[in-house]
Amino acid sequence: MRTWFQPEETEEFEAAKDLLVRRCLTWAEEHGRPADGLVLATAVDARHESRDGRLAYWDDEQVRRFLLRYVPHHVVAPRDLLDAAPDILRTLLDYLDATGLRDPRGTTTPEAFAQAVAEYPSALDDPTRQGLAKFWAQKALDHDVDFTDPAAFERFRQDIEAGRIDYDQAVLDQLVEARFHGTGLDEERAFPQPPITLPPAADLTEAATQSQTVQHLITLATWAGTEGRPLTKTGNLPLAAARELSTVLGTGEEQFQARSAAELPRLTLLLAWAKKLRLTRTAKGRLFQVTKAAPLLRDPETLWQQAFEALPYLGRAVTGQPGSLLADAFDLILPDVLNTIYGMDDMPVIRLQETVWLACQEYFVLDDKEEHIRDVLRRETAEDLTRTLEVLSDLGAIDLFHGPADPLYSSDLDHEDQELPPDAIKRLRKGLTAPDLPQIRLTPLGRRAVRDHLLSEGRDAPLLGALATTPPSGLLGVISQHYAPEDITTELNGWLTHPGQTVETLLQAIRDCPFRSRTAALLNLLTEALPQGRTLLTDLRHDPTLGPAVLTFLVDEGELDPESLSEREHLLLGAENFLSLLEVGGPEVLIEQLRGMAGGDAYEFVEAVLASGHHDAVGLQELRVLVAEPLRATSRHPLRLIPTTPPGAKGRRKKRKR
């Protein structure tokens, strides 16, 4: 049972959604909880169609997105069912908790949930929150149109065109405009990010304090002071004052042959940065320190974070070039640049230059430019990127250094899905062979800042060590789907160092897992990550709960000869395989496979498995209802449907006395 799928894994996702909804409905009935298949399926769809796609990750923001945006936008249903959606969502979250599926990194607070519920009725009643498809579907529902009848829908369309059905044209116009401008709920799936490490918090605080840019901003604001410094009529510092400030800051620009302060690029950027952060302000022809900024100036770490967040909006000041393509899309491209190097070790600047140039061509129409003009623009963009990287280095967000490029950056140039054009690939083939290339990597401060930004966008950005005290089911679920093998080992070993967190604790969490496919994945994880994994697995062969999954693993790996299995073990092996396939493929796939294997005897085959004694009672019941009964209805032995004397019963009856 996976809880994360790539967008193109449509069949796999639909099978998992059906399983999750089916099991949740059963659980809700057993526990007297409200549930509905449509609302549950919609909640799963909402998470799958989100930026991160984690089905079992629910925090306060995701609750608000579902109740206040997704349901009003998409769901067409009777009002009483829509009114029950918050309670049904609670049922789903509680079910995820009860089964160990819930992603432990997402938590919901009662206060935030209650606030979303309070706002929910007005969100439902707001006609501008619905999508175009819902607008017409809801109108059809209001007129009792049968959604399953194409002819009824055609009559409904004709009635609309003939003006026999009233609708709000103003609302419809708003919805059309929103769809045209892309202001709907569609979220493009983000690229998964690898887990990262961060040093202790004290080290990050010290690094922020030592940041050259932070020190410059503090010095600049202090220099401006509460009395202020005079400005020219154009709003710049007088050249003499600018030279004085450059000397105080140590930017080295005091010797420049400049005609005005505007020709000192580093000073211009710092002045713009300080103004953006509200460290300074201009009034009555003077530059002042903002009095309320005093606490921020005494807190270098917070100042660093705010300076980092403000940088994407300072493109003109960073590049210093009029007509710069990069500056015009700086707020869009800079975050992509930082996301690109996040989680990477070292990246050659030349490779980044090509991807930035490609991005600029997506934002601006350059096809009509002559080749030599395009080449000039490309070179200017590369220079602007170099300046941007120097600014990030001064801030302390990246390290700039020289060295040979990792072969990784050349190895993918021949891939069929390579997005770079031939001229870029040609430049890279030549450039990447240089022995001493400019390269970059994020500093710990930069990694933390980019991670915070990713999290604010609802993206997954794992942090090694963050799961150190997480419940075992949550730990195993996260690392099995979102961590590379080496990171799994690191996280698992860290978790095991805490008191009370043992391998047996992990095994018990796997025993408690109600999904066979997930059980198999988690057992395989422990086998590969723990030094004693193989021995551990062999010892679990006769475990009453994990035994069937262990048998499957050992047989599949060739470590156990199927001929050596007992009859009961063969049945348990069959049950484990059937139940797993039922989960990941659905009943139709399992029925088709059984008919291919056993033909008309498929029903008898399943009946034998149902009597195997496998511990998964819920799974066996689903196998009986969803697979065995349909097979029974088409069995080639219809007379067997007639009750008869059970096999072996003959001869055991007591004789009647005469």
Q: Does residue 466 belong to any structural domain of this protein? A: no
For the cut 70, the answer to whether the pLDDT of residue 646 exceeds it is no
Domain-embedded: residue 359: yes
pLDDT at 656: 37
Model pLDDT for residues 245-257, shown as the tens digit of each residue: 999 999 999 889 8
The verdict on residue 294 lying in a domain is: yes
pLDDT at residue 415 above 90?
Answer: no
The DSSP letter of residue 463 is B
- Note whether 323 and 443 are same-domain residues: yes
Instruction: Give me the mean pLDDT over the 588-602 stretch.
Output: 89
CATH code of the domain covering residue 229:
1.10.10
- Cα 136 to Cα 149: distance, rounded to the nearest angstrom: 15
Q: Who has greater pLDDT, 480 or 372?
A: 480
**What mean pLDDT do residues 630-657 have?**
49
- Cα angle at 616 between 610 and 618, to 5 degrees? 90
The pLDDT assigned to 637 comes to: 52
Residues 269 and 321 in one domain: no
Which pLDDT belongs to residue 394? 98
AA identity, residue 640: R
Cβ pair 445, 394 in contact under 8 A = no
582 has a pLDDT exceeding 60: yes
Write out pLDDT tens, residues 120-169.
999 998 887 877 777 777 777 777 777 777 888 788 788 787 888 887 78
Of 442 and 185, the structure prediction assigns the larger pLDDT to 442
The answer to whether 532 touches 539, Cβ cutoff 8 Å, is no
Answer whether 470's CB lies under 8 Å from 503's CB.
Answer: no
Answer yes or no: do 399 and 428 share one domain: yes
> What is the per-residue pLDDT for 181?
62
Buried b (16+ CB within 10 A) or exposed e, 400-435: eeeeebbeebbeeeeeeeeebeeebeeebeebbeee
pLDDT value of residue 542: 92
Q: Which residues, in sequence order, are CB contacts of 589 under 8 Å at separation 6+?
A: 15, 581
Question: Tens digit of pLDDT for each residue in 211-234?
Answer: 999 999 999 999 999 999 999 999
Average pLDDT estimate for 571-588:
94
What's the predicted TM-score (pTM) here? 0.86
Distance of CA 625 to the CA centre of its chain: 35
CA-to-CA distance for 428 and 432, rounded, in angstroms? Answer: 6
HSE-CB of 327 using CA atoms within 13 angstroms: 16
Cβ distance 514 to 616 under 8 Å? yes
Quick one: 520 and 577 in the same domain? no
More confident residue, 301 or 632: 301
- Please give the structure tokens belonging to residue 534: 């193989």
pLDDT band per the 50, 70, 90 thresholds, residue 644: very low
461 or 136, higher pLDDT: 461
Among 563, 581, 596, the domain-final residue is 563
Q: Chain-wide mean pLDDT for the chain?
A: 90
Describe the crossing of helices 85-98 and 37-48 by its angle, rounded to 10 degrees: 70
SS3 572: helix
Gap between the Cα atoms of 95 and 105, Å rounded: 16
CA distance 307 to 299: 12
What is the model's pLDDT at position 419?
85
**Side chain identity, residue 174:** Q
Strand, coil or helix: 559: coil
Q: Are residues 559 and 598 in the same domain?
A: no
Is 103's pLDDT higher than 50? Answer: yes
Look at residue 371 and tell me if it is in a domain.
Answer: yes
Provide the token pair at 331.
Answer: 């707020």
Residues 424 and 332 in one domain: yes
Beta bridge partners of 281: 288
Whole-number Å distance between alpha carbons of 413 and 120: 50
Q: Is the same domain home to 391 and 413?
A: yes
Tokens 């059984």 sit at which residue? Answer: 594
* Domain span at 382: 317-447
Q: Is 287 exposed, middle or buried (0-12, 13-18, 19+ CB in 10 A)?
A: buried
Place of tokens 């000073």: 267
pLDDT at 156: 78
Domain end marker among 447, 463, 485: 447
CB 267 within 8 A of CB 246: yes
Residues 6+ away with beta carbon under 8 Å from 188: 51
Q: Is the pLDDT of residue 2 over 60?
A: yes
CA–CA dist 68, 468 (Å, integer): 34
Q: Are 572 and 559 found together in one domain?
A: no
Rounded-to-integer distance, Cα 562 and Cα 544, Å: 19
Write the CA distances from 582 to 16, 369, 625, integer angstroms. 10, 57, 12
State whether 327 and 433 are in the same domain. yes
pLDDT at residue 636 greater than cutoff 60: no
Arithmetic mean of pLDDT, 427-441: 94
Domain assignment of residue 141, yes or no? no
Looking at residue 633, its pLDDT comes to: 84
What is the tally of structural domains in the chain? 5
pLDDT top residue among 421 and 353: 353
Q: What tokens appear for 557 in the block?
A: 């790996």
Lowest mean pLDDT among 91-100, 151-160, 427-436: 151-160
| Per-residue model confidence as pLDDT tens digits over 261-271 | 999 999 999 99
C-alpha closest to that of 256 among 269, 267, 271 = 267
109 and 36 inside one domain: yes
- CA–CA gap between residue 166 and residue 145 (Å, rounded): 15
In a domain, 138, yes or no: no
506-533 pLDDT, tens digit per residue, is 999 999 999 999 999 999 999 999 999 9
439 with 321, same domain? yes
**What digits encode the pLDDT tens for the residues 379-412?**
999 999 999 999 999 999 999 999 999 998 988 8
pLDDT at 650: 38
Per the domain annotation, does 147 fall within a domain?
Answer: no
Euclidean distance between CA atoms 591 and 630, whole angstroms: 8
How far is 25 from 274, CA to CA, in rounded Å?
56
C-alpha distances out from residue 654 to 576, 646, 647, 649, 651, Å: 40, 16, 17, 11, 8
The C-alpha atoms of residue 152 and residue 150 are separated, in whole angstroms, by 5
Question: What's the whole-number mean pLDDT along residues 310-337?
Answer: 93
Predicted local distance difference test score (pLDDT) of residue 638 = 46
559-591 b/e (C-beta count within 10 Å ≥ 16 → b)? ebeeeebeeebbbbbbbbbbbbbbbbbbbeebb
Phi, psi at residue 191, to the nearest 5°? -70, 130
Same domain, 551 and 586: no
| Three-state DSSP state, 130 | coil
Per the DSSP assignment, residues forming a β-bridge with 463 are 196
Instruction: State mean pLDDT over 19-46.
Output: 97
Domain stop point among 563, 585, 620: 563
Residue 53 inside a domain? The answer is: yes
Question: Is the distance from CB of 143 to CB of 165 less than 8 angstroms?
Answer: yes
